[in-house]
Amino acid sequence: MSNLLEKNLNALREKNSELANRLLAHIPMEIPQLVQQNGSYNLIYKGKPLHNVQSPLGEAKEIFSMAENRPDAIHLVYGLGLGYLFQVASVNSKGTVILYEPDLNILKTAFMLVDFSNDISKKNVFISDNLETTSEYIHRFSNTKNTPLLLSTLENRELAGAKFDELVSELQRIVGMFSLDLKYTQEKFYPLLKMTIKNIPYLVKQTPLAEIKNYYQGKTAVVVSAGPTLDRNIETIKKYRDNIVLFVVGTAMKAIDAHGIKPDFLCIIESYDSYKQIEGIDLSETNFITEPFSNPNLYKANFKKVFTHISNNLPINDFWSEISNTDNSEYLSKGTVSYTALNSARILGCSKIILVGQDLAYIEGQCYSKDSAYKDLECKYNKETNKWEITAKDFEAFANALSNHPDAEVRKNTALDRLKNLNGALYYVKGINGDMIPTESVYAAFIKPLEEYTRLYPDAEYINTSLVGAQINGFKNMSLEEALVDCHEIINRDINIEFEYNKEQIKDNLFKSKENLQPILMFTEGLKSTVKTINNDLKRYKTINTDILKGLKKLTTGYLAMSGDLSKKNKLFDFITTTERIDLDYEMKMTDSFTVDSVSKIVEKINIYCMGAEQKINEISELISKVIGEI
């Protein structure tokens, strides 16, 4: 092994030991050739140079100069070559540098020719050869206010060809999902926490779904979503209704009910008031599957039984799981109710799971089933703008279906915002027939989790009956008739189970969680006192001096103790302060010098964090006391 390779691998091993080991063992099948052109070195690979032949360093500097450079920037460098662009980014980036080089032939050759050890050793530099690790790095450094900046040479893009476009598409999906997750975390954690606590008087009367695990062992499940192709499959569902376990998501319920079909299970997990989806429907023979944080207005319906799906990858559910001493390891969610229904069918033991109306795309101008809650949406190509556009055929009907608010103006604005968001998020995915078809970016993001699910649980047979929608690998594509032709009648559907939570223990756990919040109020008072001292010093001195810096250190140390150790030990407090913490952590990351303005901003943010913590602790404590009395 060459000295340079060993030096680079030793530096890499500190951050990505798996890649270092792969590189050590890798034997290049095709070795890039080192050449000298116009006074600079270049690599020739598969007959193509990896850098500009006139000025590779000049090219790298020009590419980086066009990228935004601030402390929260993520500079994602695609392709290493001889490292010109990578090293320019490493030297100059104020944020994070992620090198993504999928070709080990190039990576190992470069490591044998160039000393990258200083670059690799920097705290803000990371290297990956696969998208999974790259996405982990992106996730670690992403927030709602930054987007990874993809930097690459023209030569590397030409070498990758169509694969580069696929990479860009995949990165867009990854970034979109992470941004959505973080935005959801920042905006929804506290409201969902309050919703969960408010729901506890309902939750104690429900049964965790896993309590009836394998009840339908070996049976066939049909999961119905509201995609356009649902209409084509209604009659087949009716024909085989007695032979299947039928799961229906909220937006498809009216379409199913319009044809006199009664599902075994209805799934709704939204925290917003989605009662409109099921209003007026007799659900007395239908079981309901929902999340602990779902909107309580849904309980106005008269369900046969209610089962709780306590998704373990939604951190907010940890609160209910711990309070009720419920094991939630069986439950998975990925933000879409169809995924919840799919997982529910698996928990109940169904060996064949069939998707209906899971088009994840806009088919022949239609966004949803003609009898669904969102039937008035259509997607058409606008020849004047040369773009696909989503509109509502009957705007008022769409607004009324979307919102339950009594104010017509609020319903109108909600519908307009929804249309704006839908059009802003138009996306294109590979269809079952191989063509690229329009969809919503959120729907495109659902494809990968569904594909991963089939690999996670390979024992079941997965079938997609769309035939014209998005391609979902891992699912067989076939008609519903063909998928159901060999299934047999299910005789017993009555779920007889006696389950009861220990209500006294739940009340005791709630009381303890409330009491554990009280000492934190003393901590916030101490920080607010330090804030006051620093603000007085700033007014007095009007410049940054030793006293102010000492006060700032005391303040930030106290904040880090609260947001770190205290949050880890007290999950309820962690959920309460998530929004303010994300905002404050971003502000602190963006501060690269101490001026009167930057210090004032940090001090103010910490003050807001403390006041928000106090307000929410008091609010949650009062709510818990109320709920304990209602259980």
The yes-or-no verdict on residue 445 having pLDDT over 90 is no
Percentage of the chain with pLDDT > 70? 94
Average pLDDT, the chain: 89
Q: Residues near 589 by Cβ (< 8 Å), separated by ≥ 6?
A: 71, 72
- By mean pLDDT, which of 226-235, 476-485, 556-565 is the weakest? 556-565
402-413 core/surface letters (b: 16 or more CB in 10 A; e: else): bbbeeeeeebbe
CA atoms of 270 and 260, how far apart (whole Å): 25
pLDDT of residue 581: 82
542-580 pLDDT tens trace: 899 999 999 999 999 998 888 888 888 888 898 888 877
Confidence of residue 628 (pLDDT cuts 50, 70, 90): very high
The yes-or-no verdict on residue 145 having pLDDT over 70 is no
Name the pairing type of β-strands 476-477 and 461-464: parallel
Confidence of residue 425 (pLDDT cuts 50, 70, 90): low
229 alpha carbon, distance to own chain's centre: 26
CA atoms of 581 and 606, how far apart (whole Å): 9
The yes-or-no verdict on residue 184 having pLDDT over 60 is no
- Count how many residues are written for the chain: 631
Confidence of residue 1 (pLDDT cuts 50, 70, 90): low
pLDDT of residue 179: 55
Confidence of residue 144 (pLDDT cuts 50, 70, 90): low
Output the 3-class SS for 26-65.
CCCCCCCEEEEECCEEEEEECCEECCCCCCHHHHHHHHHH
**How is residue 559 written in tokens?**
């904040």
40-82 pLDDT tens trace: 999 999 999 999 999 999 999 999 999 989 888 899 999 999 9
Confidence of residue 370 (pLDDT cuts 50, 70, 90): low
Confidence of residue 268 (pLDDT cuts 50, 70, 90): very high
The yes-or-no verdict on residue 415 having pLDDT over 90 is no
Q: What CATH number belongs to 3-160? A: 3.90.190
pTM (2 decimals)?
A: 0.73
Confidence of residue 172 (pLDDT cuts 50, 70, 90): low
Q: Collapsing DSSP states into helix, strand and coil, what is residue 23?
A: helix
DSSP per position, 164-196: HHHHHHHHHHHHHHHHHHHHHHHHHHHHHHHHH
Q: Is 187 exposed, middle or buried (0-12, 13-18, 19+ CB in 10 A)?
A: middle
Q: Is 329 exposed, middle or buried (0-12, 13-18, 19+ CB in 10 A)?
A: exposed
pLDDT of residue 371: 67
CA atoms of 71 and 498, how far apart (whole Å): 56
pLDDT of residue 387: 74
Query: CB–CB of 425/362 below 8 Å?
Result: no
CA atoms of 191 and 439, how far apart (whole Å): 29
Q: What is the mean pLDDT of residues 501-523?
A: 94
Name the pairing type of β-strands 436-440 and 461-464: unpaired
Confidence of residue 188 (pLDDT cuts 50, 70, 90): confident
Confidence of residue 373 (pLDDT cuts 50, 70, 90): low
Confidence of residue 186 (pLDDT cuts 50, 70, 90): low
pLDDT of residue 501: 96
Confidence of residue 446 (pLDDT cuts 50, 70, 90): confident
Listed by start position, the domains of the chain span 3-160, 186-484, 504-630
Query: CB–CB of 269/252 below 8 Å?
Result: no
Between 310 and 564, where is the model more confident?
Answer: 310
The yes-or-no verdict on residue 211 having pLDDT over 90 is yes
pLDDT of residue 587: 73
Confidence of residue 365 (pLDDT cuts 50, 70, 90): low
pLDDT of residue 146: 67
DSSP H/E element including 207: strand 207-208
The yes-or-no verdict on residue 585 having pLDDT over 80 is no
Query: CB–CB of 205/306 below 8 Å?
Result: yes
pLDDT of residue 148: 81
